[in-house]
Structure 1
Amino acid sequence: MSLGDVERVVAGLPGTEEVARHGARTWAVGGKAYAWVRPFSKADLKRFGDEAPPEGPILALAVEDLAEKEAVLAARAGDGFFTIPHFNGYAAVLVQLDKVSEGVLMEALLDAWLVHAPAAVAKAHLEGR
């Protein structure tokens, strides 16, 4: 998958706005970010040590809470989902786009959007699917 695929999916999620946050492309709903491009910082790269960091575009996705984060990581580790020390204690996961399938990416973006979408907007969207 690619950032173009992300753009296509989020275009179908009502109330989504693209903004820049910390210089990175970010998609938000209700004023809150639910997905953003997450390049590795120098500190992130240092923490990988001798291990090669995941390649390609990396997307960060909001999750409901830390329990949901652990569940997503356990269920989707083979699908390119992972975390890094910088995200410890933060309700978000990272996705290596070139390892995730279209269906999994679509589901993950919808789930991330639902974290912050206003209830009425989310209900209307889900009923219209």
Structure 2
Amino acid sequence: MVDVEQVRRAALGLPGTTERPSYGTPGFRVKDRLFARVLDDAASLALYCADESEKQALIAHDPRVFFTTPHYDGYAMVLARLAELDEAALLDVLTESWRLRAPATLVADFDAG
């Protein structure tokens, strides 16, 4: 189980990331493009995925962790329950969302280490 502070530390550890509120909750951006935000319940995280089919695949693969709500229907964003993530899984989902929103040059630099 992870909490909002762990989300913050993990997100801000990714290159080019800043924190700015999004709908009144912590939002994390890379080069001013939102890639993750904590929901109002402080128990869920909204993340980008490649497309609607990836979103549905994540939910089907692990509905304990991933879910959606009608608000996110039609968007390539999936929700994750913080209580079901450990730190390694949190970093994985944040990094994947970050990769989708970061400029290609920043991703290439990150991959080059």
Cross-structure match for 1:73: 59
Summarize the Cα distance change of 1:67–1:27 in structure 2 as closer, same or farther, 3 Å threshold: same
Answering whether residue 25 of structure 2 is matched by residue 24 of structure 1, we say yes
Question: What TM-score results when the alignment is normalised by the length of structure 1?
Answer: 0.80
Identity score, percent? 35
Answering whether residue 11 of structure 2 is matched by residue 5 of structure 1, we say no
CA distance in 2, matches of 1:6, 1:91: 20
CA distance in 1, matches of 2:63, 2:88: 15
CA deviation profile, 1:64-98 (whole Å, cap 9, x unmatched): 211111122122323x2111111110111111101
- Give SS of 1:61's match: strand
Answering whether residue 62 of structure 2 is matched by residue 61 of structure 1, we say no
Question: What TM-score results when the alignment is normalised by the length of structure 2?
Answer: 0.90
Unaligned runs of 5+ in 2: none
Cross-structure match for 2:67: 82
CA distance in 2, matches of 1:8, 1:24: 15
Q: Which amino acid aligns with 1:91?
A: A
Answering whether residue 112 of structure 2 is matched by residue 123 of structure 1, we say no
Cross-structure match for 1:38: 39
Answering whether residue 92 of structure 2 is matched by residue 91 of structure 1, we say no
CA distance in 2, matches of 1:92, 1:68: 9
- The aligned length equals 112
- Please identify runs of 4+ aligned residues in structure 1 that moved more than 4 A: none
